[in-house]
Amino acid sequence: MDKILVVGSIALDSVKTPEGESVEALGGSAVYFSLSARNFVPVSLVGVVGEDFPAEHRKLLTDHGVDLSGLKTASGKTFRWVGRFGKDLDKAKTLDTQLNVFETFKPELGTAHRNAEFVFLANIDPDLQWEVLAQMHKPRVVACDTMNFWIGLKRPALKELFSRVDVLFVNEEEAQKLARTTNNVRAALALSAWGPRVVLLKKGEHGTLLCTGGKVYPFPAFPVKTVKDPTGAGDTFAGGFMGSLASSGGDLKDVGALKRAVATGSVMASFTVSDFSTRRLETLAKAEVEERFAEYRELLSLPASAAVPA
């Protein structure tokens, strides 16, 4: 079993949705990723918080087995994000972003972290993603995420970065913007051609396209009746995917292992969206993960019969 290193944001999120709201609650890409992946393998988090970061959040993460030896406390305030989701809960509208200590964040990895075999570069500045990569000592699997913001600003840097990663997580809108097509299947194939052996094109409630070896495998989301807060769903998916992959040895040529990882990510994301902030991930038992994973498999299973009558 291998350790995963995640480098990304730790945030205090204030989110309003039609189902309610949360104020300065625990959030950030590295947090959602860690609380998801830790169900499968040990996780180390590298990031920065301000002096105002509540001790209870730190305790929550360590209580859930997340290694915080790479979490720096800088003088100043923790990164804050304020967002709102409309009736369709489809896309967040950012109302305010206060980078605070995140603005001058320079990831510095200790020896143990440099030797991690799996690394997830969450959606920070691609220049910082590069800096992390440069410090790593032969990781087996490098995965990264990105966001719309960087696509407009740093397209060449992103393209260069993607050529060096093994697994690319990208949402529908970003993929279409990067690949300059409105067809998701074509977008996934185009991004694969940039270098990553595995592309995960995330479509929120509509599921995920897994693209590998020139083929596109479509997966639905786990059906959720009540979505309270979609914040962090993508990073939770990535955590479940990478956790599953690392726990099974991380062979990127094993399509079965990749599919199992997609299913695991889908299951994990379905928990996150069912409550605000990281609440559901905090109380999640491994037996619940296993149960919903079995249910997902059962929902998708097809009988062995042929299509056309003889």
Note the residues at the interface with a second copy (CB under 8 A): 1, 39-41, 87-89, 182-186, 189, 203, 205-207, 209, 215-227, 244, 247-248, 256-257, 259-260, 263-264, 267, 286, 289-290, 293-294, 297, 299-303, 305-309
* Residue among 176 and 278 whose Cβ is closer to a second copy: 176
Residue type, 23: V
Q: Report the nearest approach of a second copy to the CB of residue 150 (Å).
A: 23
Quote the CA–CA distance of 210 and 141 in Å, as a whole number: 16
Report the alpha-carbon angle 14-15-20, nearest 5: 125
Our CB check for a second copy shows the closer of 85 and 102 to be 85
Whichever of 162 and 219 has its CB closer to a second copy, that residue is 219
Is residue 259 within 8 Å of 296, Cβ to Cβ?
no
CB of residue 84 to a second copy, shortest distance in Å: 15
CA dist 295 and 284 (Å) reads: 16
Nearer to a second copy, 70 or 174 (CB): 174
Residues in CB range of 188: below 8 A, 6 or more apart: 175, 199, 201, 209, 211, 216
Name, in order, each residue with C-beta under 8 angstroms of 225's C-beta and a sequence gap of 6 or more.
none
Question: Closest CB to a second copy among 120 and 222?
Answer: 222
The CB-of-81 to a second copy minimum distance in angstroms stands at 23
Closest distance between a second copy and the C-beta of residue 67, in Å?
18
The number of C-alpha atoms within 13 Å of 301 and in the hemisphere containing its C-beta is: 8
- Tell the smallest beta-carbon distance from residue 175 to a second copy (Å): 13
